Structure 1
Amino acid sequence: MKYTKLGSTGLDVSRLCLGGMSFGEPGRGADTWTLPEKESREIVRAALEHGVTFFDTANVYSAGSGEEILGRALRDHARRDEVVVATKVFGPMREGPNSGGLSRKAILTEAEHSLRRLGTDYIDLYQIHRWDSATPVEETLAALDALVTSGKVRYVGASSMFAWQFAKALFTAGAHGWARFVSMQDHYNLLNREEEREMLPLCADQGVGVLPWSPLARGRLARPAPAATPRTGDDAFGDSLYEGTEAADQRVVDAVASVSRARGVPMAAVALAWLLRRPAVTAPVIGVTRPEHLHDALLAVDLELTEEEAGALEEPYVPHRVAGFE
C-alpha cells in the first residue's frame, strides 16, 4: 500500500479508501444486497492486512447498521490511532421533522449517534453527504466547527455539490475562522468526468483532497459487458447515474478492457489506476462485496499507466449530464 496526505492537511491516508456502503445487516435500511456482519468483517480485516487505513461510511448506510459493523470490525482488528474513520451526515434517519439535513440540531445529534454506533470517541473525517439548501450554510459550518473544537471530530469534508456551492462554503468558513472542508467526495470516474470542468480545479487550487465515489461506475468499469449481480437488480440510484449514455459509455468500457488485456491485469485495476494518476485525487472510495474485488483494487496502487494508455482511456468520452446530487 502507498500513503499520501489528505489534501493540504498533515493527515496520512492510504491511496485506497474502503467504502462501507456494502456493509449492513440485510433488512436494515433500503438496500437488500449488503453484506451481513461476518462477511463484512472478513473484508475489513483483509483490507487492514493489505495496508488500507482509510475507511468511509455514512449514518444512513443500512439505517446505521453499516457504522455499527465497521466500528466493531475496526475495534477488533486495528488500533484506533492507526486508522482514519470517515462518516457522513445529511440523509433522514427516522420519520418526522429534524430527522435529517444540516441544521445545528441535526448535525450535533447525528454526530453523537454516529460516535455511539462506531464505538469511538472521535471521528477523523466528518462529511456533509449533500448540500442542504434549506439551512443557511453559516449554521451548518458553525455546527461542524463546534464538533472540531470539542474534539469529537478531527477534520470536516463535503460530498457531491456544485462547485459554486463548495466555493461559497470554503469562503464562508475562512471568513469566520471556522474549520474548512479538507476533502470533497464526489462522483468521478472514467464514465462521468464532468467534475474535471470546475470542481477538481477548485479542489486543486484550495488544497482539498478528492475522494471519488463510485470509481468503477457501479461495476460497469470492472467487466467488459453488463452482468447481473445482486446489486444491479436493486440499485435504482446507480442506474440513474448512467442512463441515456450507454452506447458512449460502452466505448470507454471497451478501452478499459483493451488496456486490461494488454497489461494482464483486471479491468478494475486499470480504471482505478487512471483515477490515482489524476492530480487532485487522494483516494478513490472502493466498494467491495467479494474478496476478489479487494484484490483487483489493490493492484491499482502499483499500476503505472503510460500517457498513451491514459489517452486511449480518455479519448472515447463524451459530455454527460451532472449526476449524483441534483
Structure 2
Amino acid sequence: MRHRPLGRSGLLTAPLIFGGNVFGWTADEAMSHRLLDAFIDGGFNAVDTADVYSAWVPGHAGGESEAVIGRWLKASGKRDSVLVLTKVAMWPKRPGLSAANIEAAVEESLRRLQTDYIDLYQSHQDDAETPQDETLSAFDRLVQAGKVRAVGASNVSPARLKASLDVSTASGLARYETIQPKFNLVDRDQVEGALAELANAEGLGIIPYYGLAAGFLTGKYRSEGDLEGRARGRTILRDYWNDKGRAVLAALDEAAAAVGASPAQVALAWIMRHPSITAPIASATTVEQLDDLMGAARLDLPDDIWATLDAAGR
C-alpha cells in the first residue's frame, strides 16, 4: 500500500484516514480502541479528530474524541505508528484563530491526547477577524517548539488559502500543507476547479471529509423508508435524494458488481484515485464496517469504471 505525502511536510499517510468524530460518541471507548487497533494493524497510519468532537452530543462538552485517542495511545504504545491530526477554531469553548486561542487550545489538545506533539494541527474553519499573520505566526511558534510537526487548514476558500500561503512565504512562517474540504462522488464543487489548481501549484495535500456522503454512498439508503428514524435522514434527503444521487448509486451498483466490491469500497476507491486527492477521511463504528472501508485501499478500479463513475457524479 503506497503512502502519500501530506503536502511538503515530509509526513506520509496511507490512502485512507480514519475520521475520529465517532470516538466516544457512536463508538464507545472500548469499540473506539478496537477500531484504532484494527486500523493501525491493517497498515494504515493517520487518524483525524478535533477539539470540538463531540460537543454536539447531549451531555458532552467537547474534547471527548481526543481523550479517547489519548487513552488508546497510552495503553497501546503505538504512538510512533500513527499520525495524529487534530483541529482548532470551531469549538465554542476555544473559538477562532487568534494567537492566544491557538496557544491555549494546543496545550489542552496535547493533554487530552497524552502526547508531546501533534503531527498535523489544522485550523478547523476560517477566522476573518484575526489577521492571517497572527494565526500563522502562532502556528509557526508551535512548529519551532516541536509541539506540532506541520499545519493544515479546513473549510477555507481558495482565495483565503492562497492569501495565507502568500503570508507564510513573505514572512518565512510555517505554511498550511494540507486542506480538508468536503468531497465525494456527489459533492465535488469544493475541490474541482480553483482549489485543485491551487493545491497542484503549491504542492498541498487534499484530505477530504464526507467521503461517503453521510452514508448515502454505502448504498444503504434506497428509499425514503430507509431514512425513517435516521438522524441524518433530512440531510440526505435534501442533499442527495435527487436524479444525480440516484444515478451515482446506479453507477456504484454496476461498478461494485463488476469488481466484486461493496459500493462503499468503490466510492472511496474512486476518491483515492482522483488526481487531486491525497487521502479521504472516513469513519466506522464497527470492526466489520472498518474492514470494508480498508478494502477500498486495495481496490484497483479499471480506467473505464473510474471514468463511468466520474461522469455519473458530474
How does the TM-score come out when normalised to structure 2? 0.91
> CA offsets, 1:252-271, max 9 Å, x none?
12111110112111111101
In structure 2, the CA distance between the partners of 1:317 and 1:128, relative to structure 1 (3 Å rule), is same
The amino acid of 1:118's aligned partner reads L
1:169 to 164, 170, 178: 164
Partner residue of 2:59? none
- SS at 2:198 equivalent: helix
* Letter aligned with residue 252 of structure 2: V
Q: How does 1:254-269 map to 2 (within 5 A)?
A: 254-269=250-265
Q: Distance in 2 between matches of 1:128 and 1:182?
A: 11
Q: Is the 8 A contact 1:2 1:301 kept in 2?
A: no
Corresponding residue for residue 58 of structure 2 = none
1:233 is matched with 231
Q: Which residue of 1 aligns with 2:102?
A: 107
Is 1:144 equivalent to 2:144 in the alignment? Answer: no
TM-aligned CA deviation for residue 235 of structure 1: 7.6
Within 5 Å, give how 1:56-205 maps onto structure 2: 56-62=48-54, 63-94=62-93, 99-194=94-189, 195-205=191-201
| Cα shift at 1:242 | 5.3
Note the aligned Cα RMSD (angstroms): 1.9
The 2-side partners of 1:83 and 1:40 are apart by: 15
Which structure 1 residue ranges, 4+ long, deviate > 6 Å from structure 2? Answer: none
8 Å CA contact retained: 2:186, 2:240 = no
Structure 1 counterpart of 2:218, one-letter code: A
Paired letter, 2:186: L
Work out the CA distance in 2 between the residues paired with 1:144 and 1:241. Answer: 39
Residue matched to 1:296: 292
Structure 1 position 71, deviation (Å): 1.4
Q: How far apart, CA to CA, are the structure 2 residues paired with 1:217 and 1:207?
A: 26
SS of the residue 1:154 aligns to: strand
Deviations 1:1-35 (A, max 9, x none): 432222233212211111100112x5xxxxxxx22
Partners of 1:221 and 1:267 within 8 A in 2: yes
- Distance in 1 (CA, whole Å) between partners of 2:20 and 2:220 is 25
Q: Secondary structure at the match of 2:312?
A: coil
C-alpha offsets along residues 115-146 of structure 1, whole Å, 9 cap, x if unaligned? 00000011010000011112111111111111
- Going from structure 1 to structure 2, the CA distance change for 1:127 and 1:82 (only over 3 Å counts) comes to same
Q: 2 CA distance for matches of 1:310 and 1:124? A: 32
Contact 1:84 1:124 in 2 (8 A): yes
Q: How many percent of aligned residue pairs carry the same amino acid?
A: 37
Q: 2:203 aligns with which of 183, 203, 207?
A: 207
Q: Partners of 2:284 and 2:221 in 1: how far apart?
A: 19
Does structure 1 residue 35 correspond to structure 2 residue 27?
Answer: yes
Which has the larger displacement, 105-114 or 253-262? 253-262
Change (3 A) 1:40 1:192: same
Asked if structure 2 preserves the Cα contact closer than 8 Å seen for 1:4 and 1:13, the reply is yes
Change (3 A) 1:240 1:297: closer
**Secondary structure of the residue that 1:273 maps to in structure 2?**
helix
**Residue 93 (structure 1) shift:** 4.0
Q: Contact conserved, 2:51 with 2:91, CA < 8 A, in 1?
A: no
Instruction: Please state if 1:55 is matched with 2:47.
Output: yes
Any idea what the Cα deviations from partners look like across 1:38-71, whole Å, max 9, x if unmatched? 1111111111110111111000002101000011
Task: Give yes or no for contact 1:188–1:214 (8 Å, CA) kept in 2.
Answer: yes
**Alignment partner of 1:243: what SS?**
helix
Question: Which AA in structure 1 matches 2:108?
Answer: H
CA–CA separation in structure 1 for the residues paired with 2:15 and 2:179:
15
TM-score in terms of structure 1 length? 0.88
Contact kept? 1:89, 1:102, Cα under 8 Å: yes
How far apart, in 2, do the equivalents of 1:58 and 1:235 lie?
A: 24
Taking the aligned partners of 2:228 and 2:14, their CA distance within structure 1 comes to 28
Query: In the alignment, residue 272 of structure 1 is paired with which amino acid?
Result: L
The alignment covers a number of residue pairs equal to 303
Structure 1: unaligned runs, 5 residues or longer: 27-33, 319-326
Give the SS at the match of 1:87. strand
Letter in 1 for 2:36: V
